[in-house]
Structure formats: structure tokens, C-alpha cells
């Protein structure tokens, strides 16, 4: 893991799966770049995470769904949200037209 770099470098075009890169790993803290390109969570799947996740969209567009909430959340560049541990959520949609780049900070 490099201690510096550019998040917008090495963005693959149309990767078959979401691409997750760890940018920092410390006890109780992990910073990741996630690249989605039209990916969504599988039908019926919900993330149920041990850690809290502060996440933002840097580029692209996405839609998040929470099991405890009626309306989805549209994530455009700059949008951030703190997702508490075990708050069940899924990625309902990401733009098929361009890569969506997320920055995620997982923390205890």
C-alpha cells in the first residue's frame, strides 16, 4: 500500500466487478477507493457491516437504499453519508455511462 497516490489514476474501463483498493489500513480504520461501473448489489442482498462507514461519491452517480427508509438516496459527486454499523443498505444503481468512484472510510 502506497502512502500517497492519485485516486483518479488507474480507473479501469468497464471492470467486470467492482474494484476495491485499500488506501489506508490502521487498527479500527480502513480507507478504500471503490470503482463501480453500472454495478449494483445483487437482488435481495443487503450490506450488514460490523463497522460504521462514512462514504462519499467523488465521480459518477449512484443510488443507495436503506432497509429502514422508504426513499432512496441519490449520490452525486460530493454527496456523503455516515452509515452506522449494521444499518442494512444496498447499492441500488450506479451509472452505466461512466465509472462511479467512491471514497469509503470504515471505522469502529
Q: Does 13 bind its own copies (CB under 8 A)?
A: no
How would you label 66-105 residue by residue, b for 16+ Cβ within 10 Å and e otherwise?
beeeeeeeebeeeeeeebeeebebbbebbbeeebbbbbbb
The answer to whether residues 92 and 38 touch, using CB atoms and an 8 Å cutoff, is no
Element containing residue 93 per DSSP (H, E)? strand 89-94
Q: Does 22 bind its own copies (CB under 8 A)?
A: no
Q: Does 96 bind its own copies (CB under 8 A)?
A: no
Q: Does 85 bind its own copies (CB under 8 A)?
A: no
Q: Does 88 bind its own copies (CB under 8 A)?
A: no
Q: Does 52 bind its own copies (CB under 8 A)?
A: yes
Q: Does 70 bind its own copies (CB under 8 A)?
A: no
The answer to whether residues 56 and 83 touch, using CB atoms and an 8 Å cutoff, is no
Residues of this chain that bind its own copies (CB under 8 A)? 3-9, 23-24, 26, 28-29, 31, 52, 54, 56, 58, 73, 76-82, 103, 105, 107
Amino acid at each position: 500500500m502506497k502512502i500517497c497516490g492519485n485516486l483518479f489514476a488507474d480507473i479501469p474501463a468497464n471492470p467486470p466487478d467492482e474494484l476495491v483498493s485499500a488506501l489506508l489500513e490502521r487498527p479500527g480504520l480502513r480507507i478504500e477507493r471503490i470503482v463501480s461501473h453500472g454495478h449494483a448489489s445483487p437482488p435481495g442482498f443487503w450490506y450488514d457491516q460490523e463497522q460504521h462507514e462514512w462514504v462519499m461519491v467523488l465521480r459518477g452517480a449512484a443510488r443507495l437504499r436503506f432497509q429502514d427508509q422508504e426513499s432512496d438516496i441519490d449520490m452525486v459527486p460530493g454527496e456523503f453519508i455516515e452509515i452506522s454499523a449494521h444499518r442494512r443498505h444496498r447499492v441500488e444503481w450506479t451509472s452505466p455511462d461512466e465509472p462511479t468512484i467512491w471514497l469509503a472510510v470504515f471505522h469502529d
